[in-house]
Amino acid sequence: MAAIDQYRHELLDFFNCPSDFDLVFGNPTKNIAIYQLLESIPKNEKSFDGEVGDILIGGGSGEAQALRISKKGIRFILDEDFNDFESREELIKAFWTPTFSFKIGNGLQKLGWNPYENMEFWLAEKVINQLNAKGKLRLPDEM
């Protein structure tokens, strides 16, 4: 069971990451689940955090390690004039180890990411654009 399974959420889609390495321990899948939170995550959760409407790429422990895109992060990606935040972590926060970062980075390089760009923001933008193009992105004010 993945950490995400303890909380109300909606599975929106999958992001395919062609890494040369397993992204989920003992599982060769290259698809990472993309979730939208339907409840706020309690402070004692170690795999990720988030509020209703936030997006998680990966479901945490038992699945791929997670990256959280907050509601403000979604707005930041969609609106170039959005500046209502104080830190990058308020927008996007990674909950992955250096080893997982290497593994996912290997796959993201094959998709066009380069190490001179912030990997988490690059991935967040790709995922938000993917969801938006498929009509699966529910903006926080629509929830």
Give me the helix-helix angle, 119-133 and 98-110, nearest 10°.
50
Name the nearest CA neighbour of 6 among 57, 53, 54, 61: 61
Per-residue confidence band for 142, with pLDDT thresholds at 50, 70 and 90: low
Strand, coil or helix: 45: coil
Strand-pair partners of 92: 69
- Is the whole-model pTM more than 0.85? yes
Answer yes or no: is pLDDT of 143 > 70. Answer: no
